Amino acid sequence: MSYDYIIIGGGSAGSVMANRLSAPSANRVLVCEAGQDTPDGRVPPEILDSYPGTAYFDPRFHWTGLRAHTEMISHNNPEEGRPPLRKYEQARVLGGGSSINGQLANRGAPGDYAEWEARGAAGWGWREVLPYFKKVERDLDFDGPLHGKEGRIPVRRIFPDLWNGHAKAAAAAFEAAGFRYLPDQNGTFEDGYFPITISNAYDRRVSAAIGYLDPATRLRSNLSIATATMVTGLLFEGARCVGVKALVAGRESEFRGREMILSSGAIHSPAHLLRAGIGPPGALRDLGIPVLAALHGVGQRLMDHPSISLSAFIKPEARLNGLTRRHILVGLRYSSGIGGAPSGDMFAVAIDKSAWHAVGERIGSLLLAVYKTYSETGQVRLASADWRREPVVEFNLLSDRRDLERLMDAFRRAGRLQQSPALQAATSDPFPASYSERVKKVGEVNARNRVITAVLARLLDGPAALRRALIDNVIVEGFRFDELMRDDEALEAFVRRAAIGVWHASCTCRMGADGDPMAVTDAAGRVRGVAGLRVVDASLFPAVPCANTNFPTLMAAEKIADAVLAGN
């Protein structure tokens, strides 16, 4: 069977494209998703859970073999060695990242989209993208010119009267530091603290698959959703993409179509292009891949938001209160004033439960992230032409020193907040946290970790001296809070070791102007140098916005879907 559109990846962007492109009954649409389905009535409870930590750590929903370098890699000084590879939790399930992420539903700054236009993405300024942000959402709290009321993804906030003690203490610390309360994070983009906006209704996640691939949409006879379907390659006739090769439940198949839409994310979309011979010619020839289209930007300038955490023991009376499963309730947007960064360049959240297990219930954090990042030297490249091999992922998160300096400043700011009367009343024993391999291992959802953390949690609730000893000798890895608050060299070493991204991989197939040698697509997502192929996901972004990337991805898919239906 031949299709009009074949969508490669059923994540956030793929779900939107499937819904919108199949709305005209004449269009035959196929979605190919490597992961499992999440149909109405059979969505795994871990995905539906308003608390995202369980789904996020569940290997059933991941590309389990994917690894990434997050630290800066020195290509000029081999003696420095390569930083360690870390497991990278990329979603492999219908709905993609929206099925396992933290459900944060924000948009970024108007200036982000002015920058997109300035970088060559014509028609992607704030005035043009705002209608599509509004089209995505059904805001359950606010109306007006900045909010949508009829979209497929409900958004809401949990207001302070329902916050637990740790969240209230963080808010009081923000207030004491001079920040004002903003009831609406998605209102005017300005500094302040606010209830986090979430893609959630009735304390249940609403993923892109739940919102856009609802029962009525699935009844469309012109829409086929093929899960457990691994696309292994793109098919070309000359310079036109005419189909895909795939493994369907382990069986080799081919599907033909008029147009292919790559919605596999900022790591796997460029990998598909590279394996097809679309990318930097030298790198392709080194792997024996014939060059179909010489596009130097494919896989290049990978971006994410670098972050660090300051954690502390949450006293029993300040823990989750049973009024909601949510563990991220209050956020802060502030301006660092460092390196000429624009206002609102930094983002912080109070995390009231650090993991699904019993220890996680007793550890809270202030997570601090550079949301206007300047580091854009990361890359995705092939290890092999074999589709079975995961690509090599190098984030190079702190390649621009301004990002390092702002994280160092952020830690010190968080330290002062942690020492405020409000947070001292709710917590004790602060410590610098890192998302190490040991933490990841304990974070895997299994019976062994459930038992281990239950025992450790009881000990943490014991005498103060025992708790301090456990934190210093079992939980903390090499750095102490007091040391980092006074020693710049130690703080820089900690930030370089502990900084990680926040799973906002972006920008590896950037939109750009005709004359831009690094532009992979035009402003409608069409891949340059070939026909019949678009990219529609976060890899399109000219720069990562000051936002969690799920809603910008949904917005981009809505906008490009309109362009496709209009014949552009």
Q: pLDDT digit string (tens) for 353-386?
A: 999 999 999 999 999 999 999 999 999 999 999 9
Classified as helix, coil or strand, 86 is strand
In angstroms, how far is the first alpha carbon of the chain from the final one? 25
**Cα 490–Cα 492–Cα 497 angle in degrees, nearest 5:** 95
Classified as helix, coil or strand, 190 is coil
What's the whole-number mean pLDDT along residues 48-65?
91
In order of 429, 499, 517, the CA distances from 481 in angstroms are 9, 16, 46
Confidence (pLDDT) at 74: 46
**231 pLDDT exceeds 90?**
yes
Pairing of strands 392-394, 378-381: antiparallel
Which residue in the block uniquely carries the two structure tokens 């598909």?
272
Confidence (pLDDT) at 72: 58
Side-chain-facing half-sphere of 395: CA atoms under 13 Å: 30
pLDDT grade for 439, boundaries at 50, 70 and 90: confident
Q: What percent of the chain has pLDDT over 90?
A: 90
pLDDT grade for 83, boundaries at 50, 70 and 90: low
pLDDT grade for 444, boundaries at 50, 70 and 90: confident
pLDDT grade for 232, boundaries at 50, 70 and 90: very high
pLDDT grade for 434, boundaries at 50, 70 and 90: confident
Least confident of 64-78, 88-102, 430-444, 548-562: 64-78
Classified as helix, coil or strand, 8 is strand
**Confidence (pTM):** 0.96
What's the whole-number mean pLDDT along residues 472-489?
89
Adjacent-strand bridge partners of 195:
330
Which of residues 84 and 273 earns the better pLDDT score?
A: 273
Sorted by sequence, the CB contacts under 8 Å of residue 547 that are 6+ apart come out as 106, 107, 108, 112, 371
Give the chain's count of helices (H) and strands (E): 18, 25
DSSP string, 369-429: EESS-----EEEE-S-S-TTSPPEEE--TT-SHHHHHHHHHHHHHHHHHHTSHHHHHHEEE
Confidence (pLDDT) at 222: 98
In order of 52, 103, 149, 489, the CA distances from 48 in angstroms are 8, 11, 22, 44
What's the whole-number mean pLDDT along residues 172-187?
98
Pairing of strands 86-87, 67-68: antiparallel
Find the farthest-apart pair of alpha carbons in the chain and give their distance in angstroms, rounded. Answer: 72
Confidence (pLDDT) at 76: 45
- Residue of 418, 426, 428, 431 whose CA lies nearest to 169: 426
**15 pLDDT exceeds 70?**
yes
Confidence (pLDDT) at 491: 96
**73 pLDDT exceeds 60?**
no
**Cα 508–Cα 511–Cα 515 angle in degrees, nearest 5:** 115
What's the whole-number mean pLDDT along residues 259-285?
98
Q: Check if the beta carbon of residue 406 is closer than 8 Å to that of residue 330.
A: no
Q: Check if the beta carbon of residue 99 is closer than 8 Å to that of residue 38.
A: yes
In order of 196, 509, 560, the CA distances from 377 in angstroms are 30, 14, 27
Confidence (pLDDT) at 445: 81
Separation of alpha carbons 79 and 319, rounded Å: 46
Tally Cβ neighbours within 10 Å of residue 565. Answer: 13
- Residue of 20, 9, 28, 22 whose CA lies nearest to 95: 9
pLDDT grade for 477, boundaries at 50, 70 and 90: confident
DSSP state letter for 72: P
pLDDT digits (tens, 9 = 90+) for 141-171: 999 999 999 999 999 999 999 999 999 999 9
Confidence (pLDDT) at 82: 57
Which residue in the block uniquely carries the two structure tokens 């130097």?
296
In angstroms, what is the C-alpha Rg of the chain? Answer: 23
Sorted by sequence, the CB contacts under 8 Å of residue 382 that are 6+ apart come out as 271, 274, 275, 283, 287, 289, 389, 391, 392
Separation of alpha carbons 126 and 538, rounded Å: 17
Adjacent-strand bridge partners of 312:
364
Confidence (pLDDT) at 6: 98
In order of 263, 265, 306, 325, the CA distances from 381 in angstroms are 18, 14, 21, 39
Q: Check if the beta carbon of residue 333 is closer than 8 Å to that of residue 191.
A: yes
Confidence (pLDDT) at 69: 86
Classified as helix, coil or strand, 241 is strand
**18 pLDDT exceeds 50?**
yes
Residue type, 191: D
Q: Structural domains in the chain?
A: 1-60+91-150+211-299+509-568 (3.50.50.60)
504 is catalytic: yes
pLDDT grade for 190, boundaries at 50, 70 and 90: very high
**127 pLDDT exceeds 50?**
yes
Separation of alpha carbons 40 and 478, rounded Å: 47
Separation of alpha carbons 197 and 330, rounded Å: 9
**187 pLDDT exceeds 60?**
yes
**521 pLDDT exceeds 60?**
yes
**81 pLDDT exceeds 60?**
no
Least confident of 43-57, 84-98, 372-386, 469-483: 469-483
Token pair, residue 35, equals: 């992961």
Token pair, residue 470, equals: 């456990």
**78 pLDDT exceeds 80?**
no
